[in-house]
Chains A and B, each alone.
Chain A
Amino acid sequence: EAQVTQNPRYLITVTGKKLTVTCSQNMNHEYMSWYRQDPGLGLRQIYYSMNVEVTDKGDVPEGYKVSRKEKRNFPLILESPSPNQTSLYFCASSWRHPSYEQYFGPGTRLTVT
């Protein structure tokens, strides 16, 4: 089954404790992306990757890092999480770039206390 998976689905952590949210797709897609969703602010893109070893900033990249060492994986790294990073996070992928249908993961709900 074609899918995007994210782990963990729920995470409660404390300020400053490094964490990684994993994202994996099984569709051999070149394009992958991370979004965060906050009430009243909608979906905002954090980082995206056009292919392996190619990443670029989205609209809200501050406080986040990403890597794309393999085509299927695109982890989101919070080196020093802060409470303002409490949010619902989605990973997405598409075949070549976002002009093609994007498949979204189920979401990761992160709470930073």
Chain B
Amino acid sequence: DAKTTQPPSMDCAEGRAANLPCNHSTISGNEYVYWYRQIHSQGPQYIIHGLKNNETNEMASLIITEDRKSSTLILPHATLRDTAVYYCIGPSGSARQLTFGSGTQLTVLP
């Protein structure tokens, strides 16, 4: 299984960039890294995913190191509504599941 490691919590000032790290040293060459977030007890929301190149969409940017052992999710201008648990996910061994870890609680402070 592609195990991921994230810090349990982070704070970020409103309007500043939030950089959320993730280690996935066991990920294999053809496995994607996915990011989801969960606001309070709502259903998780997809943010972005990537394989080896950096990715950007309207929500965030994903920077993946060249060795693919870690990545960083960047929220360029965090708002209070970005306060959530952010999950960095790699696929399980069967490639038919996504295994959610414990994630990072991001708190955006006013």
Which residues of A does B touch, CB under 8 Å?
Answer: 4, 33, 35, 37, 42-45, 48, 50, 56, 58-59, 88, 90, 92, 97-99, 101-107, 109
Interface size class for chain B? Answer: 20 to 34
Say whether A102 contacts B97, CB under 8 Å. no
Task: Give every chain A residue within 8 A of B91 (Cβ-Cβ).
Answer: 98-99
Closest to A88 in B: B41
Given contacts A56-B96, A98-B91, contact A42 B101 (CB under 8 A): yes
Say whether B100 contacts A42, CB under 8 Å. yes
CA A11 to CA B45, docked complex, whole Å: 24
**Dominant secondary structure of chain B at its interface with chain A:** loop
CA A105 to CA B98, docked complex, whole Å: 16
Question: What 1/0 flags go to B33-44 for Cβ under 8 Å of A?
Answer: 000100001111
Which residues of B does A touch, CB under 8 Å?
Answer: 32, 36, 41-46, 49, 87, 91, 95-103
A-B contact count (CB 8 A): 54
Say whether B45 contacts A104, CB under 8 Å. yes
Given contacts A104-B43, A106-B43, A107-B43, contact A42 B97 (CB under 8 A): no
Task: Give every chain A residue within 8 A of B45 (Cβ-Cβ).
Answer: 104
Given contacts A88-B41, A107-B41, contact A50 B96 (CB under 8 A): yes
Given contacts A42-B102, A104-B44, contact A99 B97 (CB under 8 A): no
Minimum C-beta distance from B101 to chain A (A):
6
CA A98 to CA B42, docked complex, whole Å: 19
Minimum C-beta distance from A94 to chain B (A):
9
Can you give 5 A-B contacts (C-beta < 8 A)?
A42-B100, A99-B49, A99-B95, A103-B46, A104-B43
Say whether A97 contacts B96, CB under 8 Å. yes
